[in-house]
Amino acid sequence: MSKITIVVCDHIHQTGLDILANDADINLINAADEPKDKLISDIIPLADVAITRSSTDVDQAFLDNADKVKAVVRAGVGVDNVDIDGCSKKGIVVMNVPTANTIAAVELTMTHMLSCVRQFPYAHNNLKLDRVWRRQDWYGTELKDKKLGIIGFGNIGSRVGKRAKAFEMDVVAYDPYIDPRKATDCDIAYTTNFDDILACDIITIHTPKTEETIGMIGKEEIAKMRDGVVLINCARGGLYNEEALLEGLTSGKIHMAGIDVFNKEPATSHPLLDLNNVTVTPHLGANTKESQQNIAIQAAENAIQAGKNISYPNALNLPIKESELPDFLRPYLELVQKMGNLSAQATRSHVKSIKITTKGEVSDYIDSLTTFAMVGILTESLAESVNYVNAEFVAQERDIKILKEKAKNTSGFTNKVTIKLVTENGDFTISGTVFGDHAQRIIDIDGYQLDLEPKGTLILFRNTDIPGVVGDIGRIVSKNELNIADFRLGRDNNAHALAVVKVDGNITKKLLNELSALEACISVTHVTI
């Protein structure tokens, strides 16, 4: 297998670069310091995957040179500088990193909120810069008992709500795309009436920038607000109409505003900067050491998985509308693709049929789960020629039967997905579920019950269940200078067992031959997820 070339177009944390550099299958090109014209003309043509930030536009010029690119990873949340439609037309999957800077953005929102109600920056400057001690000029208000309206109750908005509750605020959330229970379970009121938000003492917005949300707070909405309202925007520039915001702040209708993002950046000459009732920061939502490291790690891992056709985490242009997917489903889509890919690697033979069986609420999305499973299975043999759009057609062309079953849930799990792969060399069945906070687990392989994280380099060793096998496996792996990172064992009622051994390093033919030579061995294979 030839190496996968990943081009890093903009600066990311060194930890992410180290992950890419230490993967034996990856050829890393760090082009962050290259001139953009050279990047586009000379380096992007070499890329299988590109990692970008806000400094590199994925525009027509980029796409005209991206003949090999299969995926673009935006190391951050916003994809304003990515031509998603253009990428889709060229078959390029666009991914972002939506949760790595969540806490940083949440805490910055709270910082602006506190700064506004206590006018902290102005009191600070009055003392430190002007050397004036006038306590009577800086009477603020308290967050306690104030009503906070949150527009957008996703990863960031929901966490802002929880922290606001800790300040004993009265919180109401507006988000037509969530299950109301996400708010009410946190003792936060949920409303479908936008006027309820406009009646709040403080309003903060946490939505993506779309046609629906651009300028959603304008002159008309501000007119309905309470006199002396406080507005916060640490999400995206342009969600508040800036002319209306300026007018409201100048007239006193808006008491204070905390702004981290602007419609056009850098905003060094913006008229909002001239007002003395605005706290401003230069788009610092992700600017913490922790978030920058998290962003780099997730971007690197996503790029590797995309480059290896394992999965496309947080893909934005799949043939499924993200807004129509409940939060709980996303890890199942990723899990079922990994399960499919594992199945194909474990069998390594011509596929005759693929059967997807679902139990639980995931059954409502069996078509989407089937698509992801097919991509995971077929990419093992077809690589770049299969994607989420053409997977079903590719299967039909190869006379692969696709079967779907929604079964009654008697599994004991909230949701369960099973793939049965029928190949020329036999059948392979694998089941998985998701626990708690998106913890993906494989729970069954061919009837052997396990608790296995679908990640890493794995040896699958089937054997007769006799004493000493575990020790023999450990001895051989150690002799081949590999470290065992995890060891999972499943047993059946026929005196057989399955060991799944996660190792650090590459599996050699010599190692497999030595394991196969063990008297208890029935079969041995290896997979990389």
The catalytic residues are 236, 265, 283
Q: Is the dihedral of CA 422, 378, 345, 503 positive or negative?
A: negative
Q: Are 65 and 45 in contact (CB under 8 A)?
A: yes
Q: 96 by DSSP, 3-state: which?
A: strand
Q: Give the Å distances, CA to CA, from 220 to 73, 161, 197, 424, 455.
A: 38, 26, 14, 66, 51
Q: Are 381 and 409 in contact (CB under 8 A)?
A: no
Greatest alpha-carbon pair distance for the chain in Å reads 86
Q: Are 518 and 511 in contact (CB under 8 A)?
A: no
* CA gyration radius, the chain: 27
Q: Tell me phi and psi for residue 38, to 5 degrees.
A: -70, -40
Angle at 38 between CA 51 and CA 81, to 5 degrees: 40
Q: 271 by DSSP, 3-state: which?
A: helix
How far is Cα 171 from Cα 466, in angstroms, rounded to an integer?
Answer: 61
How far is Cα 339 from Cα 409, in angstroms, rounded to an integer?
Answer: 20
How far is Cα 194 from Cα 258, in angstroms, rounded to an integer?
Answer: 21
Q: How many CB atoms lie within 10 A of CB 59?
A: 13
How far is Cα 231 from Cα 485, in angstroms, rounded to an integer?
Answer: 50
Q: Are 351 and 400 in contact (CB under 8 A)?
A: yes
Q: Are 272 and 282 in contact (CB under 8 A)?
A: no
Tokens 């997730």 sit at which residue? 298
User: Which residues 6+ apart lie within 8 Å of 411 measured at CB?
Assistant: 359, 360
Tokens 């489903």 sit at which residue? 329
Q: Give the Å distances, CA to CA, from 494 to 327, 428, 472.
A: 40, 18, 21
